[in-house]
Amino acid sequence: MLLHQPRPWVLPLLLWLLTCALWLPWLGNVPLRDWDEAGIARTALEFAQAADFNGLLPTRWGEPYLNKPPGLHLLVALAIRLGGTHEAVLRLAPAVLSTAAVPLVALMQRELALQSLQSSPQPREATAGEGLATGLILMTTLPMARHGRLLMLDGAMVSAALLLWWGLLLLRSHPRRGAGLAGVACSGLLLLKPPAAMAFLVVGGAATLLAALSMDRHRQRDAPLQPWRCRWRAMGLWGLLGCLPGLAWHGWHLCHRGDGALLMWGRQGFARLAQALEGHTQGLSVPAFELLKGGWPWLLLLPLGLQLAWRQRNQPAGRWRLGILAGCLAVVLSLKTQLPWYSHILWPPLACMEGPALARLWRERRGGQSGIPLLLLGLALLLAAALQALAVVHGLPLWSLLSAGGAFTTSAIVLLRGWSVRWGLGVMLVGWWVALLCFWATPTWLWELNETWPTRAVGRLVRTLPPESLVFTQGAGRPSLSWYGGRPVPPRPAQAPRPHHLAAPGEQPSDGCRLQALFPPPPPPGQQKSVSLQWCGPEDQTSHKQALNGSPEPAPQPLAMRRPRPADGSGRHPPPQPGHLQP
C-alpha cells in the first residue's frame, strides 16, 4: 500500500515503468495525422536542420510560426537529430512526457491522503491503495493513452498541469520544494500552451486553498494561510526561479517578433473562450461525447467516487477532488471552440475520483452495483468480435475485443455471483491492459486516418517531383501531405496556374487533368478512400514522365499501396494497368 511504503518513490517508479510498457509500443505503425502531428513534425524538422536551432524561434516552411511556443518542438528536434524522421522517433518524446501523468496522480493522491490523516483521526487503511488505484485507472484510460502517444501538445500539457497541482499541494508540508515544482510546471505550460498555464494555475490554486480550509469555525479565519505566512518570501523566490525559463523565452520572442508574439495569447488562446474558431461550433456535445465514448470501464466507478468525495468534504482530500474536477469542467465547458482533445485535461480529475472507489472495492471486497453494466459491456464487445471474425464488419481490432470482452464478462460473472471480488477486479484490469496493448498493434488506434484519403504514399511520390513543379491538393489543405511530400502542398485555387500536379481523392481525373498515379485503398474495403496524383498540363511534359519513372534523388519506399483484389475471385491479379504504381 502506498502509505506504508518506506520509500515513497518506489510505487510511482513502478507505475511509470508499467505505463511505458503499455503506451510506447507500436508508435510508428501508422502515418502522421492532420493537423497537429504533421505541423509539429515540420517545425521540429526545421529546428533540427538549423545549426543554432533557429535561435529558439519556431518556423514552418521558412516562415515564422506564431501559434505555439517551441517547448515540445525542440525535444522532437533533438530526437530527429539522433534517430531520423520515422514516425516512432517523432512520437517518442511526447509519449514519454505523457507517461509522467500516471506517477504524478499517484503522488498527488499520496499527499492528499497524508493531509487528510493529519486533519482528522481516521485509520490509515481508509486511504491505503488510492494512489495505486488512481494510477492504474489513468494508465488504462483509452483517450489518455491514445492522445498521449500522438505527436501533440496535449499529453505533455496534462503532465505539466499535474506537476503544477502536485507542487501546490506540497506547499503545505514542503513550501520551497512545492513552489519550485510549481514554477517549473508553469515554465513547461508557458512553453506548450501559454493561456493554459494561467487557467491551470487558477484551478489548482483554488482547489489547494479549498483543501486547506479548516472546517472548525474558530480556526477558519487563520487556517488557510497560516502554514505559509512565515515562508512566503522563500516560496516566491523558488517559484520565480522555476518560471524563469518560460518567461525568458516569451520575452525573447516578443523582442524579435513584436506584436506577432501575442498571437498565441490572443487568437490562438483567449479568443477560443469568446468565439468558435474555424467552424468548430458543436458546443458542449463534443466533451460530453468524448467522456461517454472513452471513459469505459472506469466510468462505472464514477458514481461511487463522487459519493465518497462528498462524504469526505470535511477533509482536504475530498474538497480538493471536488474542487479540481469542478474547476477543470468549468475550463473545458467555457470554451466556445471545442475540439475532441480539449477534454483531455478531464481524465486525471476523473481518475482521482474513481481511484478511491476502486481502492474501497478492493479493500472491502464488495463488488458494488457494477456487475450488470459490466456484463452488458463485455457481451457487446464479444458480439463485435464475433461480427469481425465472421467478416460481417471490417476494421475492428479482433484480439482487443476478445481480450476486453472476455475479461469484462468474466469479471461481471464473478461480481454477480459474489465470488472473490479481488480476483474479478484483477481479471478486468489485466484483460483491459492486454486489450489496449493489442490495440496499438493495429492501425485502428488512430482511426481518424480512416476518415479521409491517405497521404503518405502520394506524398512520397510528390517528393520525387522537380522542385519547380507546382503541386496542389483538391479540397481542404492536408499538412500531412506537405510533410511527406517535403514541400508545401496548398489547396488548389479557383484559378490555378498551369501546368501543375494535383492530389485528389477518388479515381476520376478532374477537368483538364489526366490520371498520373492511382493509390487504391488497402483491403478490407471501406477503410480509406482512394487517392490519385493527376497531371494538369501538356501531354509531353517532362516532369510527368519523371514522376512515373522516378528521379535520381532517393525516395522512401514503398511508393504505393496494395493493388485492388481481382474481381473474378481467381486469386490472380490482373496485368498492370497504365497509371497504377506496383508494389
113 belongs to a structural domain: yes
Predicted pLDDT at 281: 63
391: left (phi over 0), alpha (psi -120 to 50) or beta: left
Q: State the Cα–Cα distance between residues 410 and 202, nearest whole angstrom.
A: 44
Q: 501-525: buried (b, 16+ CB within 10 Å) or exposed (e) per residue? A: bbbbbeeebeeebebbbbbbbeeee
Same domain as 509, residue 411: no
Single-letter amino acid code for the residue at 518: L
pLDDT at 576: 33
Place of cell 471474425: 389
- Boundary residue ending a domain (301, 335, 364): 364
Q: Give φ, ψ of 193 to 5 degrees.
A: -140, 100
Task: Please check whether residue 574 lies inside any domain of the structure.
Answer: no
Smallest CA-to-CA distance from 504 within 472, 550, 552 is with 472
Answer yes or no: do 412 and 488 share one domain: no
Give the H or E element holding residue 61: none
The C-alpha atoms of residue 314 and residue 310 are separated, in whole angstroms, by 9
Give the chain's largest Cα–Cα span: 91
Does residue 415 lie within any of the structural domains? yes
pLDDT value, residue 258: 87
Identify whether residues 304 and 378 lie together within a single domain: no
Q: How far apart are CA 301 and CA 546, in angstroms?
A: 60
In a domain, 579, yes or no: no
Note the pTM of the prediction, 2 decimals: 0.87
Q: Which three cell numbers stand for residue 177?
A: 520544494
- Report yes or no on 514 lying in a domain: yes
Bridge partners, residue 500, by sequence: 536
Which residue range is the domain that position 115 belongs to?
Answer: 2-216+226-364
Same domain, yes or no: 285 and 379:
no
| 140 and 272 assigned to the same domain | yes
Helix (H, G, I), strand (E, B) or coil at 454: coil
Query: Within this chain, do residues 471 and 499 fall inside the same structural domain, yes or no?
Result: yes
- Do both 392 and 472 map to the same domain? no
State whether 488 and 357 are in the same domain.
no
pLDDT of residue 218: 46
Contacts 24+ apart (CB under 8 A), 15-20: 15/102, 15/103, 15/106, 15/132, 15/135, 15/136, 15/139, 16/99, 16/100, 16/102, 16/103, 18/139, 19/99, 19/102, 19/103, 19/139, 20/96, 20/99
Domain membership flag for residue 568: no
Using DSSP, state whether 223 is helix, strand or coil.
coil
Query: Would residue 371 be called left, alpha or beta, if left means φ above 0 and alpha means ψ between -120 and 50 degrees?
Result: alpha
Q: Are residues 475 and 417 in the same domain?
A: no
Q: Residue 485: beta bridge partners?
A: none
Q: What is the pLDDT along the chain (583 residues), one digit of tens a residue?
A: 444 445 778 899 999 999 999 999 999 999 999 888 999 999 999 999 998 888 899 999 999 999 999 999 999 999 999 999 999 999 999 999 999 999 999 999 999 988 887 766 565 555 668 899 999 999 999 999 999 999 999 999 999 999 999 999 998 888 889 999 999 999 999 999 988 888 899 999 999 988 887 644 444 454 555 555 557 777 788 889 999 999 999 999 999 998 888 888 876 666 666 666 555 566 678 888 888 888 889 999 999 999 999 998 888 899 999 999 999 999 888 887 777 888 899 999 999 999 999 999 888 877 667 788 999 999 999 999 999 999 888 888 999 999 999 999 999 999 888 788 889 899 999 999 999 999 999 999 998 888 888 899 999 999 999 988 999 999 888 999 999 999 999 999 888 888 999 999 888 888 888 888 888 876 655 567 889 899 988 875 554 454 445 443 333 333 333 333 333 333 333 333 333 332 2
Final residue in a domain of this structure, among 364, 388, 414: 364
Q: Under a CB-based contact definition with an 8 Å cutoff, are residues 344 and 286 in contact?
A: no
Q: For the chain, what is the radius of gyration of the CA atoms?
A: 27
Please, are residues 91 and 31 in contact by the beta-carbon 8 Å criterion? Answer: no
Residues 382 and 487 in one domain: no
What is the residue type of 516? Q
Q: Give the three cell numbers for residue 15.
A: 507505475
The Cα-based distances of 477 to 34, 38, 472, 511 in angstroms read 9, 12, 9, 20
Is 558 a domain residue?
no
Dist. CA 454–CA 528, nearest whole Å: 7
- Are 380 and 356 in a shared domain? no
* Per-residue model confidence (pLDDT) at position 461: 92
Please give the tally of structural domains in the chain: 3
pLDDT of residue 276: 60
Instruction: For residues 175 and 112, state if they share a domain.
Output: yes
Contact predicate 74/47, CB 8 Å: yes
Region class of 499: left (phi > 0), else alpha (psi between -120 and 50), else beta: beta
571 is a domain residue: no
Q: What angle do CA 52, 56, 61 make, to 5 degrees?
A: 85
Q: How far apart are CA 382 and CA 401, in angstroms?
A: 6
Domain boundary among 416, 444, 472: 444
pLDDT reported for residue 577: 34
- Grid coordinates standing for 334? 467555457
